[in-house]
Amino acid sequence: MNIYYMNGAGNDFMVMDARDNENRDFSALALEYCRITGADGFMAVGKSEIADFRLHFYNADGSRGEMCGNGARCICRFAHDMGIAGEEMTVQTDAGIVPGWRIDENQYRVKLNNPSILDLNRKEDIAYAELGDPGVPHAVAEYSGDLWGDAEAIREQMRALRFDPAFPKGANVNFYQTLAEGEVRILTFERGVEDYTLACGTGTGSTAAVMWLRGQLPGKVLTAHSRGGTLKIVLEGEGETVTSILLEGPTEIARIYEI
């Protein structure tokens, strides 16, 4: 059996094709396989009656996740490269159906789940968003300093917000630093990893949605620099409702392990 080590803008995953047996203990496999590389998460491809395939996503601590944006982009590449799906595909996730597209060998785009909750002032000036239903929970705040330079100094602040009672499901915490109109740096402290990750796709999408509602993204296109790479978000919306969030960025199959 092969396990594929993949990353999307530095967000890294252990991936397997589990269509022949979806009764495995994926939580235990996530703990075992993520230790091999220190990966952020584990993904297994399963069968689906309503999409081209199903995504089973688990964090590195063995907890199941509703969805993962960069993971969805990586699983789309995996499905295309393995002949499971074509250049356009649909992925069944716990948060809802996610369409995906192959742009070229490395670049993939997915349509993230629309927000089921989008509260700009959940905790003072910290916004809260859930993409999908049940949604992936994100706290989002603008940072006025040197975000990456201050990363170690603000780690405990972000860790505390991850467990803050204002976010009853716990939250992935995303700080963004505005560089120019439509361009930011992002830093994410991710639940289930319990530390910084090099990129977060749903966090980037949540940040773009929050910025647009705050009037900070009039062009509805966000270039987001994470420490692992650059992601692009294209939004659609009417009034105060986000109707589409497209996430685009790089993917890589870094290594194949024979287990």
Tally of CA atoms within 13 A in the half-sphere of 206 that contains its CB: 36
DSSP character string of 13-25: EEEEE-TT-TTS-
Q: Is 207 helix (H, G, I), strand (E, B) or coil?
A: helix
Residue 114 DSSP symbol: P
SS3 content of the chain, % helix, strand, coil (to 5): 20, 50, 35
Run of H or E including 27: helix 26-37
Q: Is 212 helix (H, G, I), strand (E, B) or coil?
A: helix
In angstroms, rounded to a whole number, what is the distance separating the alpha carbons of residues 191 and 196?
A: 9
Any idea which residues carry the catalytic annotation? 68, 200
In angstroms, rounded to a whole number, what is the distance separating the alpha carbons of residues 164 and 123?
A: 9
β-pair partners for 2? 258
SS in 3 state form for 54-99?
Answer: EEEEEECCCCECCCCHHHHHHHHHHHHHCCCCCCEEEEEECCEEEE
Quickly tell me which residue has 């024979």 as its tokens: 258
